[in-house]
Amino acid sequence: MSAATAPINTFTITAPDDWHIHLRDGQALATTVPHAAANFRRAICMPNLVPPVKTAADAIAYRERILAQVPNDSISQQFEPLMTLYLTESLTAEDIEAAVDSGVVKAVKLYPAGATTNSADGVSHINRCTDVFAKMEALGLPLLVHGEVTHHHIDIFDREKRFIDEVMVNLIDKFPKLKIVFEHITTSDAADFVLSQGKNVAATITPQHLLFNRNHLLVGGVKPHFYCLPILKRQSHQKVLLDVATSGNPKFFIGTDSAPHATHTKENACGCAGCYSASIALPLYAQAFDSVGKLDKLEGFTSIHGAKFYGLPTNSDKVTLVREAWQVPEHYPYLDGKNLTPLMAGQTLDWKVMPFDLAV
List, for residues 22-73, the tens digit of each pLDDT value.
Answer: 999 999 999 999 999 999 999 999 999 999 999 999 999 999 999 999 999 9
If residue 190 lies in a helix (H) or strand (E), which one and from where to where? helix 188-196
* pLDDT at res. 5: 60
Give the residue ranges of the annotated binding site for substrate.
Answer: 22-24, 48, 146, 229, 261, 273
Give Cβ neighbours of residue 349 (< 8 Å, ≥ 6 apart).
280, 283, 284, 287, 325, 326, 327, 328
Give the residue ranges of the annotated binding site.
Answer: 20, 22-24, 48, 109, 146, 184, 229, 257, 261, 273
Under CATH, which architecture does the 16-314 domain have? Answer: Alpha-Beta Barrel (3.20)
Average pLDDT, the chain: 94
- CB distance 97 to 55 below 8 Å: no
* pLDDT at res. 313: 98
Helices marked H in 197-266 — which ranges?
Answer: 207-211, 214-218, 235-245, 263-266
How many distinct helices (H) and strands (E) make up the chain?
A: 14, 13
List, for residues 300-350, the tens digit of each pLDDT value.
Answer: 999 999 999 999 999 999 999 999 999 999 999 999 889 999 999 999 999
Amino acid in the structure at residue 121: D
Neighbours of 344 (CB within 10 A): 22
* pLDDT at res. 253: 99
Q: Which residues are catalytic?
A: 257
* pLDDT at res. 119: 63
> For 201-222, what is the mean pLDDT?
97
Q: What percent of the chain has pLDDT over 90?
A: 89
Give the residue ranges of the annotated binding site for Zn(2+).
Answer: 20, 22, 109, 146, 184, 257
CA 82 to chain centre: 13
**Is it the case that residue 268 has pLDDT exceeding 80?**
yes
